[in-house]
Amino acid sequence: MSLLEKLDRAAAARKAQLPGGIGAFGIPIEAIYSATEARIGGRKILLLGTNNYLGLSFSTECREAAHAAIDAEGTGTTGSRMANGNYSGHRALEAEFADFYHCRSSIVFTTGYQANLGTISALLGKGDVALIDGDSHASIYDGCILSGADVIRFRHNDRDDLEKRLRRLGERSKNTLIIVEGIYSMLGDQAPLADIVNLKKQYGSLLLLDEAHSLGVLGETGQGLVEKTGLNQDVDFITGTFSKSLCGIGGYCVSNHEQLDQMRYVSHPYIFTASPSPATIAATRAALKILSAGTELRKRLWQNAEQLYSALKNIGYQVGPQPGPIVAIILDSPEQALAMWNGLMAANIYVNLILPPAAPEGKSLVRCSINAAHTPEQINYVSQVLSELYAKLH
């Protein structure tokens, strides 16, 4: 099979999943009105498929900070952090992330994807072991592949399976990096962090926790699962992204290990990528300040999440194992998921469609993302539409 024929095969598989040319992926959003509303195809749409968990994308503080940074420093750095792209704002944000997590130091990356790619590939090498949750994000898988380490998956959130694999590694467990996520992006469930910390201590491994979807969502100050569980000092490396609760683009890694700064000299995604723009850094600094003091925003987010989660369970839908900002409806087939997605779009509601192989266990998902800016009336409307669709689809 030629290189181009491989792409043809991928296109044919996608067309088979999306009959009739349905454009469920990459839909152009023609205008953004707020954190919860946009225009798609000439219609005003309720956005229920973003990761804008605290609703900060239209924050006055963040927009003003971004404008000021553009005026003062221009639109981009045009260089990597190792070259000319290391502005004072980048270092200031790193210091603020370290202070936020009460950690020794922090590194800022250009994307959240690269935060995992760069951290994992710098920590691991040939002969080492990456022991990862089976539902890990693609950036985790790709970081492991780039590292050249041996990759072993354990069953999703299964403490016993993790221990079995650590035990089989023997002395190699001391050269093992366990990688889990605070909140998993497909079903919205949380890692059993206390169990995982106990195992990593027992077997002498290191632990990396990806807080991409839990930053701003869990914990008194929004640090994530580490703060909710009180295990801040027991996790070796924490990665995360600016593109969810912080409403920007970029990523970070924080740690109490003094060796973290050495990653700047060995991490290819850090060394060879242009650094984040001044506007992105300035807006992220403003958002992090709001996030750390934003208990009211988290309270509203969780009220909305629990309202929708409870409504869907009462209707009869199969949903993820616990409420949170990601509320996934689990369906048996792509056909069911497509019918629901189309029904929601017809009612001017945008959600995410997740089909195999991205969805776990061969299922299909209609994935709703809740944020603090949604109103109870909007959540009620979504619940009403989904109740009507349930009657049609079952």
Identify the three-state secondary structure at position 8.
helix
- 242-259 per-residue burial string, b: 16 or more CB within 10 A, e: under 16: bbbbbbbbbbbbbbbeee
The amino acid that residue 78 corresponds to is T
Query: Is 362's pLDDT higher than 90?
Result: no
Q: What 8-state DSSP symbol labels residue 252?
A: E
- The pLDDT value given to residue 327: 97
Q: What is the mean pLDDT of the chain?
A: 94
Query: Is 86's pLDDT higher than 90?
Result: yes
Mean pLDDT for the stretch of residues 71-78: 97
Identical fold, 15-47+295-393 and 60-293:
no
DSSP 14-68: HHHHSGGG---SS----EE-SSSEEEETTEEEEE-S---TT-GGG-HHHHHHHHH
Identify the three-state secondary structure at position 330.
strand
DSSP 150-196: EEEEE-TT-HHHHHHHHHHHGGGGGGEEEEEESB-TTT--B--HHHH
- 163 with 105: CB under 8 angstroms? no
* First and final C-alpha spacing in the chain: 42
- Convert the pLDDT of each residue in 199-231 to its tens digit: 999 999 999 999 999 999 999 999 999 999 999
- Convert the pLDDT of each residue in 101-136 to its tens digit: 999 999 999 999 999 999 999 999 999 999 999 999
Query: Is 294's pLDDT higher than 60?
Result: yes
What's the pLDDT band for 17 if we cut at 50, 70, 90?
A: low
- Convert the pLDDT of each residue in 244-276 to its tens digit: 999 999 999 999 999 999 999 999 999 999 999
Given CA atoms 223, 365, 303, 31 in this order, what sign does their dihedral have?
Answer: positive
d(CA 105, CA 97): 8
> Dihedrals φ, ψ of 366, to 5°?
-110, 115
- 62 with 247: CB under 8 angstroms? yes
CATH architecture of 60-293: 3-Layer(aba) Sandwich (3.40)
d(CA 183, CA 190): 5
DSSP 94-129: HHHHHHHHT-SEEEEESSHHHHHHHHHHHH--TT-E
Mean pLDDT for the stretch of residues 299-317: 97
Q: Specify the fold of 15-47+295-393.
A: Aspartate Aminotransferase, domain 1 (3.90.1150)
What's the pLDDT band for 19 if we cut at 50, 70, 90?
A: low
Looking at per-residue confidence, does 108 or 360 come out higher?
Answer: 108
Least confident piece of the model among 13-27, 56-70, 365-379 = 13-27
- The pLDDT value given to residue 171: 97
- The pLDDT value given to residue 72: 97
What's the pLDDT band for 23 if we cut at 50, 70, 90?
A: low
Residues in the chain: 394
Structure tokens belonging to residue 170: 């023997």
- The pLDDT value given to residue 24: 65
Query: Is 279's pLDDT higher than 60?
Result: yes
- The pLDDT value given to residue 392: 84
Which sequence spans correspond to the domains of the chain?
A: 15-47+295-393, 60-293
- 128 with 175: CB under 8 angstroms? yes
